[in-house]
């Protein structure tokens, strides 16, 4: 057995228990609950008044921009973890390699800051 | 034995949820099945000993990319009925692309050869009792694979600039915060200190005033101030036949003092 699996066995057991409990809750409410759905009951609830419109509106593309910028810096941070783990072995070359990586991304960061991509009107 | 069972459970759920990504009627459900597929793929990575990749998959793909997919699904403004119509038309193209991919995968994997001396290449060992998977990645990623690593930085830079160029539009009407101007403000620009006579209150000076216009101007006449203040002012105006001070004149009087 791989050592990683024994390390993660508690996580696996935890996940199995979570699935069982969630399944038991949903399943028992499905089995024992009274279910008499009708059109009024299953319609969208909007604080008492009729729903104006469908919920599927287009929304501003700036949400998407924020999400993309988040992913890029998320990946940047993901690269920092192995670097921090083995910095003592890879020496100055590894250090400068990461500094180059960060430098390129800082260029992008300055660009997006100066363009106002991080501002919200 | 245990490992095999876990592998088959993860693999089966992965294949099933990947099928549901394609087959689900609601695109939002497709994204949720995709998240399930990501979790199971992370489990498979763990079984293979790639601990860091498993965690990165959960953090980056489930935490960020799935959210992005949800954004796209919401933003596309999909009409399900319209989407159903397209299925018949685009099915041959989709089948052709899928067939080409399948043939390529078969060609790639039937000619896959594992090098005989792979056990001797020390830097390829994913993890060992003395070195975790994350450290094993870090030992080679920044030095041995520096070219790919720096290329990765450029790819991220291009993604960042591309996203900004494509989506950011300058809105002249937008009320954007001008931080420099905000920091340059001083209290004297927006505040005025008044000498209020003892016992008279600010009512004698026309109530609370702003430097350039009082609340009296903005408010519906007679609605500003407390009940007692309005009553007293009305009494003053009727008793002493003074010149009625309009709020604008009152404001000027404040400046003179």
Cross-chain residue pair A5–B74, CB shorter than 8 Å = no
- Cα-trace Rg, chain A: 25
B168 touches chain A (CB under 8 A): yes
Kindly identify which residue of chain B lies nearest to residue A81, measuring between CA atoms: B134
Kindly identify which residue of chain A lies nearest to residue B140, measuring between CA atoms: A90
Give me the residue from B6, B67, B153 closest to A67, CB to CB.
B67
Q: Provide the pLDDT for residue A76.
A: 92
Cross-chain residue pair A94–B51, CB shorter than 8 Å = no
Q: What's the average model confidence in pLDDT over A16-42?
A: 90
Q: Provide the pLDDT for residue B123.
A: 66
Q: What's the average model confidence in pLDDT over A46-60?
A: 71
Kindly identify which residue of chain A lies nearest to residue B142, measuring between CA atoms: A94
The minimum CA-CA distance between B5 and chain A, rounded to whole Å, is 12
The pTM is what?
0.68
Q: Provide the pLDDT for residue B125.
A: 67
Interface mutation target, options A97, A103, A111, A113, chain B, most CBs of B under 10 Å: A97
Interface mutation target, options A108, A112, A119, A120, chain B, most CBs of B under 10 Å: A108
Q: What's the average model confidence in pLDDT over A21-43?
A: 89
ipTM for the complex shown: 0.80
Query: What is the DSSP secondary-structure string of chain B?
Result: -HHHHHHHHHHHHHHHHHHHHHH-SSHHHHHHHHHHHHHHHHHHHHHTT-HHHHHHIIIIIIIIIHHHHHHHHHHTT--HHHHHHHHHHHHHHHHHHHHHHHHHHHHHHHT----TTGGG-GGG---BTTB-HHHHHHHHHTTTTHHHHHHHHHHHHHHHHHHHHHH----TT-----HHHHHH--HHHH-----PPTTTTGGGGTSSB-SS-BHHHHSPTT-SS-HHHHHHHHHHHHHS-PPP--HHHHHHHHHH-
Closest by CA position to A105, among listed B100, B96, B153 = B153
Closest by CA position to B66, among listed A82, A21, A70 = A70
Cross-chain residue pair B3–A2, CB shorter than 8 Å = yes
The minimum CA-CA distance between B210 and chain A, rounded to whole Å, is 27
Do B142 and B126 contact (CB within 8 A), yes or no?
no
The minimum CA-CA distance between A16 and chain B, rounded to whole Å, is 11
Give me the residue from B67, B74, B175 closest to A59, CB to CB.
B74
Give me the residue from A59, A75, A82 closest to B156, CB to CB.
A75
Higher pLDDT, A114 or B38: B38
Q: Provide the pLDDT for residue B212.
A: 42
Q: Provide the pLDDT for residue B251.
A: 45
| Range 120-139 of B in CB contact (< 8 A) with A | 127, 129, 132-135, 137-139
Q: Provide the pLDDT for residue B104.
A: 95
Q: Provide the pLDDT for residue B139.
A: 87
Cross-chain residue pair A71–B68, CB shorter than 8 Å = yes
Kindly identify which residue of chain A lies nearest to residue B144, measuring between CA atoms: A94
For residue B64, the chain A residues in CB contact (below 8 A) are: 67, 70-71, 74
Say if residue B31 is exposed, middle or buried (CB neighbours under 10 Å; 0-12, 13-18, 19+).
buried
Q: Provide the pLDDT for residue B78.
A: 63
Q: What's the average model confidence in pLDDT over A6-12?
A: 84
Q: Provide the pLDDT for residue B252.
A: 44
- Average pLDDT of chain A? 85
Question: Which residues in chain B show pLDDT less than 50?
Answer: 211-218, 242-244, 249-257
B78 touches chain A (CB under 8 A): yes
Q: Provide the pLDDT for residue A63.
A: 82
Give me the residue from B49, B150, B156 closest to A100, CB to CB.
B150
In whole angstroms, give the CA distance from residue A112 to residue B160: 8
């Amino acid at each position: 057995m791989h050592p990683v699996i024994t390390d993660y066995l508690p996580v696996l057991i935890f996940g199995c228990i979570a699935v069982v409990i969630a399944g038991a809750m949903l399943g028992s409410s499905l089995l024992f609950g009274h279910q008499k759905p009708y059109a009024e009951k299953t319609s969208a609830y909007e604080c008492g008044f009729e729903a104006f419109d469908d919920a599927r509106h287009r929304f501003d593309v700036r949400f998407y921009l924020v999400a993309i910028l988040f992913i890029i810096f998320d990946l940047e941070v993901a690269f920092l973890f192995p670097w921090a783990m083995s910095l003592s072995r890879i020496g100055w070359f590894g250090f400068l390699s990461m500094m180059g990586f960060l430098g390129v991304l800082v260029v992008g960061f300055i660009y997006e800051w100066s363009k106002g991509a991080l501002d919200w009107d | 034995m245990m490992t095999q069972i876990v592998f088959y459970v993860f693999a089966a759920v992965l294949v099933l949820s990947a099928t549901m990504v394609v087959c689900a009627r609601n695109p939002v459900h497709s994204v949720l099945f995709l998240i399930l597929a990501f979790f199971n793929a992370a489990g498979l990575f763990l079984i293979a000993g790639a601990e860091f990749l498993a965690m990165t998959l959960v953090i980056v793909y489930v935490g960020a990319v799935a959210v992005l997919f949800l954004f796209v699904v919401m933003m596309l403004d999909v009409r399900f009925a319209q989407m159903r119509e397209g299925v018949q038309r685009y099915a041959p193209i989709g089948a052709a692309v899928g067939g080409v991919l399948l043939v390529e995968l078969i060609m790639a994997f039937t000619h896959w050869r594992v090098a005989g001396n792979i056990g001797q290449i020390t830097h390829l060992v994913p993890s060992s009792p003395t070195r975790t998977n994350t450290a094993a990645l870090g030992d080679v990623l920044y030095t041995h694979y520096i070219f790919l690593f720096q290329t990765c930085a450029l790819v991220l830079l291009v993604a960042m600039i591309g996203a900004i160029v494509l989506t950011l539009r300058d809105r002249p009407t937008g009320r954007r915060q001008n931080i420099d101007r905000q920091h340059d403000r001083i209290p004297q620009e927006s505040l005025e200190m008044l000498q209020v006579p003892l016992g008279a209150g600010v009512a004698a000076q026309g109530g609370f005033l702003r430097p350039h216009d009082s609340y009296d101007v903005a408010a519906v006449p007679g609605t500003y101030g407390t009940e007692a203040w309005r009553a007293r002012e009305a009494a003053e105006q009727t008793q002493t036949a003074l010149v009625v001070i309009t709020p604008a004149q009152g404001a000027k009087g404040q400046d003179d003092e």
